[in-house]
Amino acid sequence: MRKGENISEKDLQSVESPPLTDEILARMRPVAESHPEIPSRVRGPQKTPTKKSTTIRLNAEVIEFFKAQGNGWQTKINDVLQEYVDSSKG
């Protein structure tokens, strides 16, 4: 389950949900089937300039620092690196 940024982990864990019985499971249907008016989530075209996918090895401390800031942590790393590149141009 994804939690919203405004919900604490403690609050999320305090929610008690009833167990899923066979009867409940038998009544379940895919969202697309029960609500065809809801469009499927499709990522739109990327803003220009497009980014390139790569693999990079970073110190665990660096990754933990940025991940602790929440969603968008990879973009934040990109922003910091872009600032360095911009400041290095002379």
The pLDDT tens digits along the chain (90 residues) read 555 678 888 888 888 888 899 999 999 999 889 888 888 777 777 777 778 889 999 999 999 999 999 999 999 999 999 999 999 997
pLDDT in the model for residue 48: 74
**What confidence score (pLDDT) does residue 56 get?**
95
E-strand spans in the chain?
none
Give per-residue pLDDT as tens, 35-53.
Answer: 888 887 777 777 777 788 8
- Output the CA–CA distances (angstroms, integers) from residue 11 to 7, 20, 30, 65, in the order listed: 6, 21, 28, 24
pTM beyond 0.85, yes or no: no
Q: Are 16 and 82 in contact (CB under 8 A)?
A: no
Judged on CB neighbours under 10 Å (0-12, 13-18, 19+), 76 is middle
Domain borders along the chain are: 57-90
